[in-house]
Structure 1
Amino acid sequence: MKYHYGITIREGRERLKMTQAQLAELWPQAKGGTGVSVNYVSDVERGIKKITDIKTLRCLCEILHIPPWKMGLSDYDPFNPNQIAHSKSNHYGIVKFTNSPIDRISDYKNCLLEAKGNCFISGTSMIHLSEDSSDILKKKLYTGNVYLLILDPDWIEINHSILTFISNKEDRMNFHHEIRNSIRKLNQLRKSLPQKIVPNFKIKTYSTIFPYIATGFDDGNTGKMVVEIVDYIPEKSRPRFTLIKNNDQDSLFEQVKSKFFSMWANKSIVKEI
């Protein structure tokens, strides 16, 4: 079965024992107001009609009590960016906030250079790391594990139409080639490693949408993370945070790290390579 957001919506509706008619009455409209036909709800749940409006998806998450990440959304709401200033749990631990892509690659690599203990990397940040950061990764494997979560290129090839955070249709269609090339380079790196550190290099692919592009580390006492919020936002205006580990278990650092390892452990949507 090809994944689409209608599957998650149906599961959420059925979990609440809600009929399609009841959901149709509450269904948020992109231009305001509520209410759609039962046939429309049915078409969405069967994947015939697709939702790409982020506000609609966020409202459906609230109505159906669906964790935002299951719909490819982050806890951060780009339509309400001031929440960071008013939310202690999200604000706590943020040392940098920017929506400029100019220094995004250097932020990822600087975080990795500083890393102590275990490192965790998700999304396309590993593409940049696979290009010219092999020596950095090798050094980190002597001090801890490196966990890489990569979108499954076969899944991307089939489901490229829902990768709406990539604005150009042709780029979406060809994105799987870029991922395949990065996996090939990472496998070459793994083959070149001394045998004693090979088990520390852990790579998995996942077959869904994960809203965070992240590079981070945690040695138990200290930690740091650079995380970019994908959420259907074009690259030039995506919010990106530099976070530090602290004693607040509800900090954004802990939230993203927890979601990363929840995904890592989910055998239904990830596989080792």
Structure 2
Amino acid sequence: MNKLVCLILIPFSHYFVGIGEDNLIYHYGLTIREGRELLGLTQAQLAEKWPQSGGGTGVSLNYVSDVERGIKNITDLKTLRLLCKILEIPLWKVGLSDFNPFNPYSISPFEVNQYGIIKLTDCAIDRISDYKNCLLDAKGDCFISGTSMIHLSEDSSEILKDKLLYGKVHLLILNPDWIKYHYILLSFIENEEDKKIFHYEIRNSIRKIIQFRKSLPIELRERLHLKTYHTVFPYIITGFENDTDGKIVFEITDYIPEKNRPRFTVQKTSDNNAIYAQVKRKFFSLWHNKSVTEELNA
């Protein structure tokens, strides 16, 4: 491990803001407006406090109104983080992670391991193998988001089939129709071409996983649970848990613009506030939220 870390652990809520029956209406402005109203601020008061990317504060009243109505989007992540701090908005609500692994802090390896960290890296070279090794180790129920194993590994189908012999598999895939309308909210998509590539990859992943499920014996098919989600979610996760053991590999996608995507490998500990427990809660909070997920039954 070449980086010592200070981890900011923030409790994860069980609801998403701004999603109604029409699952394509979400934008950051809904969450910003809710945060402003909960604090009793007017748009004019928020305009005075609004952080600027170059330092200082203050924007026009019209700008605040346009952001809250979804007409304009905040593209600078530093500004978005500062705004969340002012409005007391949990970062996950706008698709940003609540871990800050690159904040230097002098702590011993023993203290780091209390959080259950096995590995921390920002190197992309062994990305696929980290996820694959987690599933290869899995004995128990598995949970996967971001299609981290499905379209990145040629032999993922055989691995998943083997895992279904031991337990259930919960797989969350980003809804491709949601990407069409809201790709600007995904910080790792930098241009129109990236959007097209990502959109194709997700649709191809869904096609492959549906074919895979149809090929399974009925007793295994019932253990494979598939959902798509239509909201921002800043974690790519592959994990498993049984009665005694558990491990999660996860990445923080909102660090991509800085080209430092932290990838954690963490083990299950007895501490319900440790990283493993928090990330697992994040996954299943999203999984059980019917307003932003739907069963993939095709």
Question: Which TM bucket (shorter chain)?
Answer: over 0.9
Q: Is residue 140–residue 241 contact of structure 2 (8 Å, CA) maintained in 1?
A: yes
Cα gap change, 1:100 to 1:230, in 2 (>3 Å)? same
Counterpart for residue 104 of structure 2:
82
Counterpart for residue 64 of structure 1:
87
- Equivalent-residue separation in structure 2 for 1:251 and 1:149 (angstroms): 23
Q: Is residue 69–residue 211 contact of structure 1 (8 Å, CA) maintained in 2?
A: yes
The answer to whether the aligner puts 1:39 opposite 2:62 as a matched pair is yes
Give the alignment partner of residue 224 of structure 1, picking from 220, 232, 247: 247
**TM-score, scaled to structure 1:** 0.92
- Equivalent-residue separation in structure 1 for 2:39 and 2:235 (angstroms): 28
Q: Is residue 251–residue 262 contact of structure 2 (8 Å, CA) maintained in 1?
A: yes
Give the alignment partner of residue 273 of structure 2, picking from 246, 250, 253: 250
* Deviations 1:202-259 (CA, angstroms, capped at 9, x unpaired): 1111111100011011113211011111015149521111111101211111111111
Counterpart for residue 22 of structure 1:
45
The answer to whether the aligner puts 1:170 opposite 2:193 as a matched pair is yes
Task: Tell me whether 258-267 or 157-166 shows the greater mean CA deviation.
Answer: 157-166
* Deviations 1:29-74 (CA, angstroms, capped at 9, x unpaired): 1111122222111111111211011111111222222111111011
Q: Is residue 89–residue 250 contact of structure 1 (8 Å, CA) maintained in 2?
A: no
Q: Post-superposition shift, 1:27?
A: 1.1
Q: Post-superposition shift, 1:18?
A: 1.9
**TM-score, scaled to structure 2:** 0.85
Cα gap change, 1:61 to 1:13, in 2 (>3 Å)? same
The RMSD of aligned alpha carbons is: 2.1
Q: Which runs of 5+ in 1 are unaligned?
A: none
Aligned ranges for residues 88-167 of structure 1 at < 5 Å? Answer: 92-128=115-151, 131-167=154-190
AA of the residue aligned to 1:166:
I
Q: Is residue 263–residue 270 contact of structure 1 (8 Å, CA) maintained in 2?
A: yes
**SS in structure 1 opposite 2:44?**
helix
Q: Is residue 228–residue 238 contact of structure 1 (8 Å, CA) maintained in 2?
A: yes
Cα gap change, 1:89 to 1:199, in 2 (>3 Å)? farther
* Deviations 1:152-183 (CA, angstroms, capped at 9, x unpaired): 00001122222231334311134211101101
Counterpart for residue 5 of structure 2:
none
Q: Which runs of 5+ in 2 are unaligned?
A: 1-23
- Equivalent-residue separation in structure 2 for 1:151 and 1:92 (angstroms): 29
Q: Is residue 178–residue 230 contact of structure 2 (8 Å, CA) maintained in 1?
A: yes
- Equivalent-residue separation in structure 1 for 2:106 and 2:58 (angstroms): 31
Counterpart for residue 219 of structure 2:
196
Give the alignment partner of residue 50 of structure 1, picking from 73, 77, 86: 73
AA of the residue aligned to 2:29:
G
- Equivalent-residue separation in structure 2 for 1:23 and 1:195 (angstroms): 56
Number of residue equivalences: 271
Give the alignment partner of residue 236 of structure 2, picking from 196, 200, 213: 213
